[in-house]
A = this chain, B = another copy of it.
Amino acid sequence: MSEDLTARARIRDAAIKLFSERGIDGASIRDIAAEAGVSSGLLRHHFGSKEALRQACDEYARDRMFALGRELVDEVGLENISLASIQPVSFPLQTYMARSMMDGSETAVALFLQTVEYGAEWAKTHGVVTDDYRAWSAVIAVMKLGVFVLRDLLELALGEDIASPTGYARMTRAFVDIFSQPLLTPEQADNLRKD
């Protein structure tokens, strides 16, 4: 939250931080203003209302994430993206977006539905075996969001910050381990499908 940002940008960054940590209702405009080092009146002057501030944060986070994605693809090409390299910037944005989705914000929910749609298409064209691509994609999507929304619990279980290099590596490897081996045998799967 450096001083060379405009007050408007500092307010927006503070809002993204506190909304992420406490949820929309849990972060008051007075807290956000204090975090940004301005009066609550100035927040109101720049954004009009708490709801408008939240919308501005949503759109900023969404556009910034898209821009980051494009930059990365342009720079290094799609096939050899290093997850670790984008993490420091994209992580707070993803965390905010996950929380905003949970709180039902319009822009965030639209992005979620779009992601589910994309995931379903991906599954179709990549040989995923299911007869309900939408459900498959939706469940994957909420499970992924769970990691962001329940970050505190995850860190408690791991004993370290998942934004730290080692914590992030442990989480990433766990994902790889989970999604590279089947947890159910074909027989177990068939049995469960009968219920």
Q: Which of B142, B150, B174, B189 contacts A132 (CB 8 A)?
A: B174
A101 contacts the other chain (Cβ, under 8 Å)? Answer: yes
Given contacts A134-B157, A135-B171, A172-B192, 6 further A-B contacts (CB under 8 A): A102-B152, A130-B177, A134-B158, A142-B147, A149-B149, A179-B182
Instruction: Determine how many copies of this chain the complex contains.
Output: 2
- For A104, A113, A135, A172, which residue has the most chain B Cβ atoms within 10 angstroms? A135
Q: Is the interface of A mostly helix, strand, loop or mixed?
A: helix
Asked whether, in the complex, the Cβ of B139 is within 8 Å of the Cβ of A175, the reply is yes
Q: Which of B83, B152, B178 contacts A139 (CB 8 A)?
A: B178
Chain A residues near B (Cβ < 8 Å): 23, 25-26, 82-84, 101-102, 104, 109, 112-113, 116, 128-130, 132, 134-147, 149-150, 152-154, 156-158, 169-186, 188-189, 192-193, 195
Given the complex, which residues of B lie within 8 Å of A185, measured CB to CB? 180
Given the complex, which residues of B lie within 8 Å of A109, measured CB to CB? 153, 156
Q: A146-B146, A149-B102, A150-B142 are in contact. Are A188 and B180 (CB under 8 A)?
A: yes
